[in-house]
Structure 1
Amino acid sequence: MDALLVLTGTERSQLVEGFGSIKASPYDDYPAFSEHVRDLVVDDVVPDRLLRAAGRIRADRAEGVVEAHVLRNCPVDDDLPELGNEDPSAEKKKRKTTFVGEAFLELLAQITGTPLLAYANRFGGDFFIDVVAISRYLGKQTGYNGGEVVFHNDRTAHPVRADYITLLGMRCPTEDLVYTGFVPGTRLVAELSPEVRRVLREPHFATPFDVVSRDANADLGEEVAHPILSGRSSLRYLDTHTTTAAGAPVEAKDALLALKNALTRVPKDRHRMQRGDVLTFANQHGLHNREQIEITDPGRALGRWLLKTYAFADRESADAHADAWVDGVPGKVGD
């Protein structure tokens, strides 16, 4: 994917210098951290080109013409600790003493008007999540499996789902060919017949909760029947896992097969994440995956590290879940 913006060295340094004034930790006091970042916008620390790029992202999303954007040469912490694969989140919070990457992701969320979302029972309720292989999930269907991931939306089976996901490349082995793929919902839906779309809009389908969610919350219960398609192009789908619900009519199975065939045929966008790259994309109005084309050192590949945020489409979308806030922290839900 082509980059919407490549920050200059001067612009990057300007941001890093501004982030240096932030004393609050995003893991100890996220509201204070967020407010400090907001002050940088007020104080005109943010480069004009980045503000214009954020405006372009907002406009593209509002018009539904582009659902994925790339920024390059974005600020990343100079001193990145080794996280290992047993408990990367805990290691980060013990060893990472600067928050440059977190500040940039928070800034991008603010200037695109997409408030961040966190889950209280995942990774300590953090708003900034580490996409790093975790030993107990190797080979399983999760983004923490150290391998490929099928096309999906994050948190497919959950009632509160992010509208947008943003990834920042922290440590990306340059020798490996690993791609994040994205299919816009509008492009996929265009491959389907009107009859298939009609059936996909009915609650004839079910998606199991992912293994990480079940480990974090033993009270999730069984999956609930849901439609795959809603609205203009909003999808709820996890390839190879979403299936027809009990009692679904035969046409539901035919529609699911048609969707799978369309997903195989439809052109995909792909981006190879590098250090300092940002890939921000629609979680619901699209599907994303991870492909490993060539891995030269499997051990080193397990250290690949992307910093990730979930976000609501806008303040109104966030406020619709205000009754679910945990500990009074806006954006943190108990899902």
Structure 2
Amino acid sequence: MASVPVSLDIEISAPDLVLTGAETAATARVAALLRDRPEGTLVDDPAWVDSARDHWEELPTRLRRALRAFRRAPGPGGALLVRGLPVAGSELGDTPLSDGSVQRGATVPASVLMLVACGLGDPAAFRPEKTGALVQDVVPVPGREEFQGNAGSVLLTFHNENAFHPHRPDFVMLLCLRADPEGLAGLRTSCVREVLPLLDAQTRSALHRPEFRTAPPPSFGAGQGPAAPHAVLTGAYEDPDLRVDMAATEPLTERAAAALAELQLLFECTARTVRLEPGDLAVVDNRITVHGRTAFSPRFDGTDRWLQRTFVLADLRRSRAHRAGDGYVLADPTGHAAHPA
């Protein structure tokens, strides 16, 4: 293995883009138009998403340019942090306590997420996951503290979102509505582009072999049988895509196990952490970057950390066989016919 830097998480304090007051106000006006759309305000309605796509062009120029640039060139870190987006904090109410909490009706934050999703590609969701809602709440849930997922509050291990799935998201968006009161919860990211130079040739070769298996979460897994073996690194050798979930990816050989352990170490060594504040939007390129979260202690009193999450597919057409009526919700990954809810 090449020389590995000793690193605690690098704290990110300088966002990639900070909106001016005028830009925040302009974004709020566009989001309000979408929220108050007279034809209907259900976020999951394809017609509402079409309206978000139309309104995308009305967002501030600097915001649109930053998102388009990131889509094409996500840089060495594979994540983008935008600060100053409107979230209408005084209108939020208490942080939800339900594991299945989603946002069905249009709000300013949901409108912001859909506007950005339409600039990066197309929003998408998975029917077994929070009933296929396009905007999902990420909140700590009582009794789920040890859960390796968005409802937990222990250290969340590094993972590509839905790593098991053939049409996993290209981008994961997390918009902060309410910060962790104690400032302990931090979004962690690590990009294969920074890890790659630190891998020795033997480990790198092992990660390119189909000697790993990633299990779906219980909500996806009923009746599917064993997951197919896959490689962790795929595509261009000099700039590969990454597919791994440290809580769900199983090595199938001894060399695969050694390679996965080294990869985990390097994720830790190159990790970046950002403690999101209200109005912060983190966009993670799920093709090359894993993400996780530091541990925190929720209060369950309505003041806990509250993010909203939306997935984006850069090429929606590739998943057409899995989407009923050419909508935005994918059925199971087995290739069975998709049916509307």
TM over 0.5: yes
Does 1:306 find its partner at 2:307?
yes
The amino acid across from 1:82 in the alignment is: D
Shift of 1:274: 0.7
Aligned partners of 1:327, 1:147: CA distance in 2, in Å? 39
Q: What is the percentage of aligned positions where both structures have the same residue?
A: 25
Mapped contact 2:188–2:294 kept (Cα < 8 A): yes
Note closer, same or farther for the CA distance 1:255–1:20 as it changes in structure 2 (3 Å cut).
closer
The match for 2:43 is 27
Q: 1:205 to 1:16 in 2, by over 3 A?
A: same
Match of 2:271 in 1: 268
Map 1:1-335; keep pairs closer than 5 Å: 1=12, 2-22=14-34, 23=37, 24-29=40-45, 31-42=46-57, 45-61=58-74, 64-78=75-89, 79-87=91-99, 89=101, 92-93=103-104, 98-112=106-120, 114-135=121-142, 137-210=144-217, 214-215=218-219, 218-231=222-235, 232-245=239-252, 248=253, 250-264=254-268, 266-292=269-295, 295=297, 298-300=299-301, 303-312=304-313, 314=314, 317-329=315-327, 331-335=328-332
Tell me the secondary structure at the aligned position of residue 62 of structure 2.
Answer: helix
Cα displacement string for residues 94-118 of structure 1 (whole angstroms, at most 9, x for unaligned residues): xxx5511111112112233x22221
- Give distance in 2, aligned partners of 1:41 and 1:209: 34
- Is the 8 Å Cα contact of residues 95 and 302 (structure 2) preserved in structure 1? no
Q: Residue by residue, what CA displacement relative to the aligned partner does 1:124-149 show, whole Å, maximum 9, x if unpaired? A: 21111111123453312112113320
Relative to 1, partners in 2 of residues 1:301 and 1:253: Cα closer, same or farther, differing over 3 Å?
farther
Unpaired segments ≥5 residues, structure 2: 1-11, 333-341
Letter aligned with residue 20 of structure 1: A
CA-CA distance at 1:302 after TM superposition: 7.8
The answer as to whether partners of 2:95 and 2:304 remain within 8 angstroms in 1 is yes
Cα-to-partner distance string for 1:291-327 (whole Å, 9 max, x where unaligned): 13x64x6335883211111112x2xx32111121124
Give 2:52's aligned amino acid: V
How many residues are treated as equivalent by the alignment?
312
What's the offset of the Cα at 1:5? 1.5
Amino acid of the structure 2 residue aligned with 1:271: V
AA matched with 2:300: G
Deviations 1:199-258 (A, max 9, x none): 111111122222xxx13552333333221111233222222442222xx3x322332233
CA contact (8 A) 2:132 2:329 kept: yes
Cα distance in structure 1, aligned partners of 2:44 and 2:213: 37
Contact 2:76 2:191 in 1 (8 A): no
Equivalent position SS for 1:121: coil
Which range is displaced more, 160-169 or 100-109?
A: 100-109
Instruction: Specify whether residues 106 and 179 from structure 1 end up closer, same or farther in structure 2 by C-alpha distance, changes over 3 A only.
Output: same
SS of residue matched to 2:128? coil
Amino acid of the residue matched to residue 276 of structure 1?
G
SS state of the match for residue 169, structure 1? strand
Aligned residue for 2:24, secondary structure, equals: helix
Which residues of structure 1 form unaligned runs of 5+?
none
- Tell me the SS of whatever aligns to 1:13: helix
Per-residue displacement from partner, 1:256-289 (whole Å, max 9, x unpaired)? 233233334x322111111110010111201111
Rounded Cα–Cα distance in structure 2 between residues aligned with 1:99 and 1:325:
25
Give the structure-1-normalised TM-score: 0.84
8 Å contact 1:54–1:111 — kept in the other structure? yes
Amino acid at match of 1:33: W
